[in-house]
Structure 1
Amino acid sequence: MEKNVILCVDDEKIILDSIKAQLKENYGNLFLYETAESATEALDIIEDLELDLSTNLIIISDWLMPVIKGDEFLIKVHQMYPNALKIMLTGHADYKSIKKTEDEADLYKCIKKPWVRSELFSCIDSGLQLT
C-alpha cells in the first residue's frame, strides 16, 4: 500500500503550525503530516516511520536552523532516501548553500519565505508527478 508523508522541518513552531494547517486544508487525508523543530528530530521521525519503496516522502525544510542546517539535513536524507522530494523553504539561505543542496541532495526547489501557498502546492504537485 502506498504511503504519502510530508515532513516539515523548521525551528520555529509557528511556521510549522502554519505550513501543516495549509497543507491539511489543501490535501486533506492524502498525506500523513509530520513536523520537527530540528534536523535531529526529523531524522528520528523518518526512522520511526519505517519507510519503504512505495512511500512518497516529501521533505519541506528550513535552511537556517541550530546545530544542523537545512542543506546538511537534506543531504543526509538524500543518502538514505534518494527518491524523497526535497524542498527548501527559507528566508536566509545563500546561493552557495542552495547550489550545494541541488548538487548533493537533488533539491527539487527552493522557495523563499514568506511563501505563497499556491507556489508551495504547485511545487509539491509537480514534484510528485516526477516520482
Structure 2
Amino acid sequence: MSKPVILCVDDEPIVLESLRSQLREAFGECYIYEVAQDADDALEVIDEIQAECTDIILIVSDWLMPGMKGDEFLIKVHQRFPHVVKIMLTGQADEAAIQRVQDEANLHKCLFKPWSEIELITTIQSGLAQL
C-alpha cells in the first residue's frame, strides 16, 4: 500500500513550493506531497490518486484562485470524501466564505497568509490526529 497523500492547492507556484518544502521538512517521507495550481487541476489529481487506490488524507487550499474558489472546491471535496481534513490558507477570504466552508465542509482551520510555519505544521498535526 502506498503512502497517504497531502494535497496543496494554490495558484502561486512559490506558495506551493514553500508548502511542499515545509511539509517535507516536518513530516519527511511519511506522506506523498502533491500540488495543484487551481481547483480543477486539484480535482483531476484527486481522481488520479483515487484511481491508484491511494488515500488523500489532508488538503491545504487557497481561497482566491482563478476559476473555482477554494470554498467551493473544499465543499465539493467534502461531498465526495468527508473524511479528508480540510485547511484553507488565504490572504483574501471573507468571513462568509470561511463560515460557509466550516458549515458545509467541516473545515479544520483557516490560516492566513503570510502563514507561520509553526502554525501550519501544528494545524496539520492536529488535523491528522483526528483521523
The answer for the alignment partner of 2:110 in structure 1 is 110
Contact 1:3/1:56 (8 A) holds in 2:
no
In 2, the alpha carbon distance for the partners of 1:51 and 1:109 equals: 28
The sequence identity of aligned pairs, in percent, is 51
Q: Mark the runs of 5 or more structure 2 residues left unpaired by the alignment.
A: none
Deviates more, 1:109-118 or 1:50-59: 50-59
Aligned residues: 131
Q: 1:115 to 1:48 in 2, by over 3 A?
A: same
1:50 to partner: Cα distance: 1.4
Once the two structures are superposed, what CA deviation does each residue of 1:89-108 show, in whole Å capped at 9, x if it has no partner? 00000000000000011100
In 1, the alpha carbon distance for the partners of 2:121 and 2:39 equals: 23
The answer for the alignment partner of 1:55 in structure 2 is 55
SS of the counterpart of 1:3? coil
Letter aligned with residue 116 of structure 2? V
Contact 2:5/2:54 (8 A) holds in 1:
no
In 1, the alpha carbon distance for the partners of 2:8 and 2:32 equals: 11
Q: Mark the runs of 5 or more structure 1 residues left unpaired by the alignment.
A: none
The answer for the alignment partner of 2:9 in structure 1 is 9
TM-score by length of 1: 0.94
Contact 2:64/2:70 (8 A) holds in 1:
yes
Letter aligned with residue 95 of structure 1? E
CA RMSD of aligned residues (A): 1.7
Contact 2:49/2:55 (8 A) holds in 1:
no
Once the two structures are superposed, what CA deviation does each residue of 1:55-79 show, in whole Å capped at 9, x if it has no partner? 3511000000011000000000001
TM-score by length of 2: 0.94
SS of the counterpart of 2:4? strand
